[in-house]
């Protein structure tokens, strides 16, 4: 029941509250007068100040680097989903939602292979489209953090690399960086592990191993023998 549900009337020394034509309560005016006289009615009531609270839409200052990257992955996913279905951008999956863990794992996989969030999502769309024979299946968040998702990424990156840089030459940075810190090397070594590397990939890995380790790993040598 709200205060607005009552009708209020003055009657001699009383203020009466009525509902449906019946008096249900009253207050003596004498009880209210001390309260009213103590108020400065010419002074406006102070406005309640608004406190800015952090929202789930953006990462907060205390978030880890991987959480920030996961949020970027969520944004790329939302934009790709909107484009895929020809709709407005949907809400991003935020850190407080359960599905955000899938984006954390996806960000880790993308970082392992030096892929951007946009490239990672494109790889998943392209890979599922191939598997579904062009039926247009859009990946769900739980599709982004599986071994199959990593395979789709590697296959997509391999196809992209063939179009842009088929020979994969060794650069000055490849010579300078330790193998553990060289993303181009780590990505192609992973491709060999998955059986997805072409001859140029394998030769690139072998050349860097010979340069940095003084020898080529047996697994890489065996892989090269198939070409």
- Could you give the 3-state DSSP secondary structure of residue 2? coil
| Single residue among 164, 194, 213 that ends a domain in this structure | 164
Which residues span the domain enclosing 89? 64-164
Residue 206 has pLDDT above 90, yes or no: yes
Whether 206 is in a domain gets the answer: yes
The confidence score (pLDDT) of residue 61 equals 45
> Considering only CA atoms, which of 137, 142, 106 is closest in space to residue 121?
106
Between CA 122 and CA 124 the distance in angstroms is 5
Nearest to 14 by CA among 24, 1, 2, 5: 24
Same domain, 73 and 109: yes
Burial of 54 (0-12, 13-18, 19+ CB in 10 A): exposed
Max mean pLDDT among 13-27, 40-54, 61-75 falls in 61-75
Same domain, 160 and 173: no
pLDDT of residue 3 exceeding 60, the answer is: no
pTM value surpassing 0.85: no
Tell whether 122 and 201 lie within a shared domain. Answer: no
Q: What is the DSSP letter of 21?
A: T
Closest CA to 92 of 76, 69, 116: 76
């Amino acid at each position: 029941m709200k205060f607005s549900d009552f009708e209020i009337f003055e009657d001699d020394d009383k203020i009466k509250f009525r509902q449906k034509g019946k008096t249900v309560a009253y207050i003596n005016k004498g009880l209210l007068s001390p309260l009213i006289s103590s108020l400065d009615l010419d002074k406006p009531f102070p406005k309640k100040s608004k406190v800015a609270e952090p929202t789930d839409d953006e990462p907060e200052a205390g978030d880890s680097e991987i959480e920030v990257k996961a949020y970027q992955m969520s944004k790329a996913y939302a934009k790709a989903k909107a484009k895929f279905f020809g709709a407005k951008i949907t809400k991003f999956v935020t850190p407080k939602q359960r599905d955000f863990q899938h984006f954390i794992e996806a960000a880790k996989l993308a970082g392992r292979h030096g892929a951007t969030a946009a490239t990672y999502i494109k790889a998943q769309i392209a890979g599922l489209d191939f598997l579904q024979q062009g039926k247009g299946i859009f990946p769900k968040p739980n599709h982004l953090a599986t071994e199959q998702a990593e395979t789709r990424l590697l296959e997509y990156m391999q196809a992209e690399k063939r179009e842009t840089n088929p020979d994969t030459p060794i650069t000055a940075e490849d010579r300078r960086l330790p193998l553990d810190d060289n993303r181009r090397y780590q990505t192609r070594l992973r491709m060999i592990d998955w059986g997805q590397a072409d001859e140029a990939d394998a030769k690139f890995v072998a050349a860097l191993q010979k340069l940095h380790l003084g020898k080529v790993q047996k697994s890489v040598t065996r892989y090269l023998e198939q070409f």
